[in-house]
């Protein structure tokens, strides 16, 4: 077997090992690679910064564990920003498997920022009907958030005082690996003119750019990079920054493999001629 | 009548839902609120129907001895979690929570993470600059893959902006075209369903 043939037929296990190492090695070391903050992420940050203290904001965990590595870091960093700005945070989920992460982030920021439960932050749980829930909040949150996740009725929750619908809720942040941000955009922004920001997986980001450009999303956080950029803005380097190092190296290895495959392919084609 | 009544309901509710969007006033608002309440109820019923359907399907498999193991696991997981959640709570530290955190989350995340390995292997084998279109695709992929990583910033601070431009301009143009096509398709299909031309959902 010639060298070209060998390069064209690298065994699958070798590629798997290379990718595995590229992902694993950066996790062992603590270092910061340069990262430029792009406009879609900066827009979300700036919008949150512009909100006055006590403004109600929805943070919706619309994802399941399969997209956990990308979505969880952005959930955490966004929740931290909202808590740092002392906004009134309504945590919810439109995905059945999202409740676990929502609860986890809820507990973490409750403790870290010494927030008062049901006053500064409230976890309203999971809602099965996406369109009906989003539209329902636009009419009257009382009809949707009948109680919080722990069963405390609506009227006893201080965080809901004086809040009726999207006119009072100044921002909705949806974090997802599926099409739920589009539902928020269509129903909450389209019908009620609500401000919606989306945090999505890198794959989904390309699909949502048209809506960001048309300002139907006020900002867009795309994948691990978006989350790492946000961590940089908050100067709170955490999971996304670490993950970004791994992704950078894995992508680099992937590009090298594709280049190698193409060089061998062209050499072989030339030889045949 | 088995088909006519559902089609009439779809036509009636669809027309009301469509018209009320363009009519401003208290009557329109109350109709809309009523529709939303029904919507939530119907969605709740849909979940119950889905659970019944899933149970029947897998019981049928168990009876016929077809895919017995998978059907057994599905039913035990479904009803096991319901029983644990309803009778023993879903709070932090509960068995329900532990199964979610230590079984479901790692399994789900692992399955998805394997994609990275298969994608690397598949792109190495199949991603070839065979003609102009595939070369353009390859170049855009390189710019995006490197541009959106830290290596992009190391190589040149213009590379992330170039990757962003690809998303903002060529990608945007293509996505808008696709989205408009999808929207027109949805509109046409909705009309066909409302007018009873498309009846496959009744079977």
pLDDT at B2 over 90: no
**Residues of A whose CB is below 8 A from B97:** 100
Paired tokens of A245: 């190092």
- B contact residues 2-31, partner A, Cβ 8 Å cutoff: 29
Interchain contact, A100 vs B100, CB within 8 Å? yes
Pairwise CA distance, residues A240 & A226, whole Å: 8
pLDDT at res. A167: 95
- When mean pLDDT is compared across A171-175, A219-223, A269-273, the lowest value belongs to A269-273
The reply to whether residue B127 touches residue A261, judged by beta carbons under 8 angstroms, is yes
B107-145 pLDDT per residue, tens? 888 888 888 889 889 988 888 888 999 999 999 999 988
**CA-to-CA distance for A177 and A61, rounded, in angstroms?**
10
pLDDT at residue A4 is higher than 90 = no
What pLDDT, on a 0 to 100 scale, did the predictor assign at position B3? 84
Q: Which pair of tokens denotes residue A159?
A: 């965080």
Identity of the residue in B44, B142, B168 whose CB atom sits nearest the CB atom of A255? B142
B-facing residues of A in 128-187 (CB < 8 A) are 128-129, 131-133, 135-136, 139, 143, 150
**CA-based nearest residue in chain B for residue A33:** B150
CA distance A125 to chain B (A): 12
Angle between helices A223-234 and A68-84 in degrees, nearest 10: 30
pLDDT tens track for A93-146 = 998 888 888 999 999 999 999 999 999 999 999 988 888 899 999 989 998 998
In whole angstroms, what is the distance from residue A200 CA to residue A190 CA? 20
Distance from CA of B64 to the nearest CA of A (A): 31
pLDDT (0 to 100) of residue A1? 66
Chain A stretch 59-98, residues whose beta carbon is closer than 8 A to a beta carbon of chain B: 64-69, 97
Which DSSP helix (H) or strand (E) runs through A126? strand A121-126
List of chain B residues whose C-beta atoms are within 8 Å of the C-beta of residue A139: 29, 32-33, 36
d(CA A122, CA A37): 31
Question: CA dist B149 to A165, B114, B142, Å?
Answer: 39, 20, 11
Closest CA to B77 of B50, B55, B49, B109: B55
Tell me what ipTM this predicted complex has: 0.73
> Is residue B167 within 8 angstroms of chain A, CB to CB?
yes
Q: What pTM was estimated for this model as a whole? A: 0.84
Residues in B closer than 8 angstroms to A231, CB to CB, are none
Nearest CA in chain A to B111: A66
Q: Which of B39, B108, B124 is nearest residue A64 as measured by Cβ atoms?
A: B108
A74: exposed, middle or buried (C-beta count within 10 Å: 0-12, 13-18, 19+)?
buried
């Amino acid at each position: 077997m010639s060298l070209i043939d060998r390069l064209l037929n690298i065994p699958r296990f070798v590629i798997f090992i290379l990718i595995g190492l590229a992902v694993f090695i950066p996790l062992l070391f603590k270092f910061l690679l340069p990262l430029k903050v792009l406009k879609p992420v900066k827009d979300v940050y700036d919008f949150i910064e512009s909100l006055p203290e006590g403004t109600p904001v929805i943070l919706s965990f619309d994802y399941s564990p399969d997209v956990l590595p990308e979505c969880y870091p952005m959930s955490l960093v966004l929740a931290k920003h909202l808590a740092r700005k002392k906004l009134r945070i309504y945590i919810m989920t439109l995905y059945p498997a999202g409740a676990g992460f929502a609860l986890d982030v809820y507990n973490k920021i409750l403790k870290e920022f010494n927030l008062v439960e049901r006053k500064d932050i409230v976890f309203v749980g999971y809602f099965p009907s996406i369109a009906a829930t989003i539209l329902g909040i636009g009419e009257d949150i009382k009809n949707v958030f009948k109680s919080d996740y722990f069963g405390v009725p609506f009227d006893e929750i201080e965080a809901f005082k004086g809040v009726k619908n999207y006119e009072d809720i100044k921002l909705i942040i949806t974090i997802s690996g599926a099409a739920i941000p589009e539902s928020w955009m269509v129903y909450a922004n389209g019908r009620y003119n609500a401000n919606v920001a989306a945090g999505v997986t890198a794959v989904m980001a390309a699909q949502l750019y048209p809506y960001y450009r048309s300002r139907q999303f006020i900002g867009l956080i795309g994948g691990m990079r978006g989350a790492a950029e946000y961590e940089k803005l908050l100067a709170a380097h955490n999971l996304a920054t670490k993950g970004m190092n791994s992704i950078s190296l894995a992508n680099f290895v992937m590009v090298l493999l594709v280049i190698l495959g193409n060089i061998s392919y062209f050499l072989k084609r030339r030889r045949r001629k | 009548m088995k088909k006519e009544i559902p089609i009439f309901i779809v036509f009636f509710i669809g027309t009301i839902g469509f018209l009320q969007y363009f009519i401003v006033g208290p009557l329109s608002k109350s109709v809309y609120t009523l529709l939303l309440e029904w919507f939530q109820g119907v969605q709740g019923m849909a979940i119950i129907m889905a659970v019944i359907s899933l149970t029947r399907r897998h019981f049928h498999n168990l009876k016929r001895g077809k895919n017995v193991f998978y059907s057994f696991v599905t039913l035990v997981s479904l009803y096991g979690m319901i029983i644990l959640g309803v009778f023993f709570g879903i709070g932090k530290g509960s068995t329900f929570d532990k199964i979610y955190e230590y079984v479901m989350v790692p399994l789900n995340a692992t399955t998805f993470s394997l994609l990275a390995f298969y994608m690397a292997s598949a792109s190495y084998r199949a991603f070839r600059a065979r003609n102009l279109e595939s070369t353009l695709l390859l170049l855009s992929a390189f710019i995006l893959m490197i541009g959106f990583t830290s290596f992009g910033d190391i190589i040149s601070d213009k590379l992330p902006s170039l990757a962003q431009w690809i998303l903002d301009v060529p990608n945007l143009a293509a996505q808008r075209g696709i989205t408009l096509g999808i929207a027109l398709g949805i509109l046409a299909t909705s009309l066909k369903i409302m007018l009873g031309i498309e009846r496959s959902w009744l079977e």
